[in-house]
Amino acid sequence: MFPINVNGETHRAESSPDKPLLWVLRDELGLKGTKYGCGVGVCGACVVLIDGEPNHACMVPLARVGDRKVVTIEGLSADHPVVQAWIAEQVPQCGYCQPAQMLSAAALIERRRSPTDADIDAAMSGVLCRCGTYARIRRAVHAASARKPGAPKPLRLPELLSDLPPDAGAAPNQWVWINSAGTVTLMVNHSEMGQGALTALAALAAEELDVEIEQVRTVFAPADKRYENGYWGGAQFTGGSSSIRGEWARLRKAAAKTRLRLTEAAARRWGVDASTPARAAPRAVAWCMLRAAGASHTANSPRRRRGSPCRAGRRSSSRTSSATSGGRCRVWIFPQCALGRRATASTSRCRERWSRS
């Protein structure tokens, strides 16, 4: 029986002294984060830290560990700079090599406070990534070293719901729901297993709807022929790098049609030609949904009449125009839309058209 210190705790391994550390960690201690790759110390998938230095666990016999301290991926805390940077940069694709990548990065930033690209390449070259995430790994290592010793919270990822919520709102099609608060609920027909499918598909919809990705939440699609794999067809499954290839056109078209319908609804409500606002002010199209839901007007909502007071009694945003007087909004373009984006300078081109309508 051999005592072994792993992640700050002492365990007593019952394996033979020549058994590789990899299998002691996985089979005896149940630490599955350390992966088997090649078994000959080439691929690096099994890297762990021994006294702070990366080692191939498949090549280290239990007897050689002795009283040295072993750290596996389970030993990195959630607020460790490397963990935070990996989440913020969305590094993994399949994720199989990432425990070893992260431990190698943690060892590097302990040795070098501000590693160069050459330092990172040298330190990380012992772990192969067949998905080719090397560029994201390099960015994450730079971010982790810059944030040391305290990393900020990672970027907010799209929320994943267990079921379609009661407040999902209107559904122009089977993919997109928008409620009066401007929250977008997106139906996703691919599983998330660390490869980034949810984030990528949410980004597609957010870009076409012209909203921030933070306003998009996702829900897994039910078993339904409408949600079959868009690339392979014939079944509803995830695999073969088909999430983006299959849904690129389908989700973008669904989101684009949603925005077009909202634009047309707004144009009918205001009695104007839909073509100009659709090109010049697409970010304001959801305002009509707020009005339909009974939301009150605010200083940042569009007004059609010059000089009409906003119910909030405030001046319009100074970022958009300084033409205010006595708390009466003289800006009838779209300083900020219901979906939270600031209007751009292109909005001013339709100012006179809106004032005449």
Select the more confidently predicted residue: 136 or 331: 136
The pLDDT of residue 200 is: 85
Give the per-residue pLDDT at 219: 92
pLDDT of residue 49: 97
Residue 191 shares a structural domain with residue 237: yes
Q: Are residues 235 and 276 in the same domain?
A: no
Helix (H/G/I), strand (E/B), else coil: 146: helix
* pLDDT attached to residue 132: 84
Residue 39 lies in a domain: yes
pLDDT single digits (tens) 85-141 = 998 888 887 889 999 999 999 999 999 989 999 999 999 999 999 888 898 899 999
Residue 152 belongs to a domain: no
The per-residue pLDDT for range 63-81, each reduced to its tens digit, is 999 999 999 999 999 889 9
Domain of 7 in residue numbering reads as 2-75
Cis peptide before 149 (omega within 30 of 0): yes
| Residue where a domain stops, chosen among 202, 225, 258 | 258
pLDDT at residue number 157: 64
Our count of domains for the chain comes to: 4
Q: Is the pLDDT of residue 28 over 80?
A: yes
- Per-residue pLDDT for 268 more than 80? yes
- Give me the CATH number covering residue 169: 3.30.365.10
Regarding whether 251 and 168 lie in a shared domain, the answer is yes
Give mean pLDDT, residues 206-223. 89
Residues 163 and 249 grouped into a single domain: yes
| Domain-ending residue, one of 75, 99, 121 | 75
Residue 196 has pLDDT above 80, yes or no: no
Average pLDDT over residues 42-56: 96
Please, which residues have CB within 8 angstroms of residue 277's CB and are 6 or more apart in sequence? 263, 266, 267, 284, 285, 350, 354
Report if pTM > 0.95.
Answer: no
Domain boundary among 147, 170, 193: 147
Classify residue 189: in a domain, yes or no.
yes
For residues 39-61, give the mean pLDDT.
Answer: 95
pLDDT at 346 > cutoff 80: no
Higher pLDDT among residues 346 and 127, named by residue: 127
- Looking at the fold, whether 113 and 179 belong to one and the same domain comes out as no
Q: Is residue 112 part of a domain?
A: yes
**CATH code of residue 17:** 3.10.20.30
So what's the pLDDT on residue 240?
Answer: 77
The more confidently predicted of residues 1 and 46 is: 46
Are residue 140 and residue 171 in the same domain, yes or no? no
Whether 168 is covered by a domain: the verdict is: yes
User: Scanning the structure block, which residue is given the tokens 């990065």?
Assistant: 105
**Which pLDDT belongs to residue 44?**
95
Q: What's the mean per-residue pLDDT of the chain? A: 76
pLDDT of residue 155: 53
Widest CA span of the chain, in angstroms? 88
The answer to whether position 184 is within a domain reads yes
* Pair (283, 239) in one structural domain: no
- How far, in Å, CA of 222 to CA of 187, rounded? 9
The closest alpha carbon to 44, from 97, 103, 122, 118, belongs to 97
Greater model confidence, 269 or 41:
41
The pLDDT value given to residue 147: 73
Separation of alpha carbons 48 and 314, rounded Å: 59
Q: Is residue 53 part of a domain?
A: yes
DSSP state, 187?
A: E
What percent of the chain is modeled with pLDDT above 70?
73
Residues 6+ apart with CB under 8 A from 107: 49, 52, 53, 54, 123
Res. 351: pLDDT tops 60: no
HSE value, Cβ hemisphere, 13 Å, CA-based, for 186: 33
Quick one: tokens of 200? 């990528």
Segment (H or E) for 217: strand 216-220
Tell me the CATH number at 98. 1.10.150.120
pLDDT digits (tens, 9 = 90+) for 132-171: 889 889 999 999 998 754 444 545 567 788 889 999 998 8
Whether 154 maps to a domain, the answer reads no
Most confident range (mean pLDDT) of 65-79, 143-157, 213-227, 318-332 is 65-79
Tokens of 328: 């009466």
Interhelix angle 243-270/197-209, rounded to 10 degrees, is 30
In a shared domain, residues 164 and 254: yes
